[in-house]
Amino acid sequence: MASSTAKNVGEEAAAAAPAPPLASCLTLRQKLVEMRKACPEIVKKKHSDGVSYSYAKIYDVWEKITPIMNELGVDFDVVGESAIKHSDSGDPVYWITMQTKTRNGDKLMFLYEADLTIRWTNLDDDEDVIETVVHAIGWNDDPAKAKGAAHTYALKYYLFEKFSIDQGEDDPDNSDFSAQGKGQGGQRPQGQRQGQGQSSGRLSDAQLNRLYKKAEAAGVSKERTDARIAEKYRKQDPATLTRQEYDDICASLDAAAAQQGQQGGQPNV
């Protein structure tokens, strides 16, 4: 008797529970919320023996969201690529070249930069779409790889933000110039101080000149410095760096210059 009663209670509770919404009844924004629920913390992995740290790849994100995208009926496309630089004749410029110094001598590098338009589409309603623009920047000694790196990084960090993905500790992609930002013993190089809060104004010309002189001493070109600032801080104008960001970059360049002096060659930047 008790068993029969418990069974009836269970059946009544199941009948009273709200049924999960049908995908066809959801708007695109509602479907994106369901996708966000499927994106808990992504555990970083060590993807290569040649890289000492663990990190998350864009494929780790797709692994989480692709099954739910297929289930809900959501499509994702890169539908536009727009150059932000143009030649004197008005033609779009996606790559610029620069010479950078390495311990193996000067090397020609390609810097790719563009705005990408991405589109989410509700497959149950082709008119229900969301578009957004993300900025992509990346560099490599191969122009195709520079473009690939730029697209991958831009989409990776867009997806991390879009779906509130927790990566745990700070992303090692934020490391600066492949040289540590601290001197020996965990102390900052002499002459550098920790920034006190955020600056509300622009950096002065004198501060920028100081930054580029430090870069020159470290064997890093002005173009490479600007590219790294744009890549790390998403700032096309170095004068808009906060004082904290400025101090950190100066400290990293000082460390790279010291490393160069100890090794008797150019740092690997």
The domain limits of the chain are 26-164, 184-263
pLDDT of residue 117: 96
One digit per residue, the tens of pLDDT, for the chain of length 269 reads 544 554 554 455 444 444 445 788 899 999 999 888 877 666 666 655 555 555 667 887 888 888 889 999 999 999 999 998 898 888 999 999 988 877 777 888 899 999 999 999 999 999 999 999 999 998 888 999 999 999 998 998 888 888 877 655 544 444 444 444 333 333 333 333 333 333 346 788 778 888 888 888 777 888 888 888 887 878 888 888 887 788 778 877 777 766 655 554 444 44
Strands (E), the chain: 74-82, 85-86, 92-93, 95-102, 105-122, 125-140
pLDDT of residue 132: 94
Question: Mapping DSSP to helix (H, G, I), strand (E, B) and coil, where does residue 106 land?
Answer: strand
Let me know: does 229 contact 241? Beta carbons within 8 Å: yes
pLDDT of residue 80: 95
- Which amino acid is located at 240 in the chain? T
CA distance 28 to 32: 6
The domain defined by 26-164 folds into Enolase-like; domain 1 (3.30.390)
CA distance 18 to 20: 6
Q: What Rg do the C-alpha atoms of the chain give, in angstroms?
A: 25
pLDDT of residue 115: 94
How many other CB atoms are found less than 10 A from the CB of residue 163? Answer: 19
CA distance 182 to 26: 51
CA distance 201 to 204: 9
- What's the CA angle centered on 180, arms 244 and 171, to 5 degrees? 75
Backbone angles phi, psi at 129, to 5 degrees: -130, 155
Question: Mapping DSSP to helix (H, G, I), strand (E, B) and coil, where does residue 264 land?
Answer: coil
Whole-prediction pTM value?
A: 0.54
pLDDT of residue 209: 82
Length of the chain: 269
Residue 22 DSSP code = P
Within 8 A by CB and 6+ apart from 256, the residues are: 177, 178, 179, 218, 219, 220, 267, 269
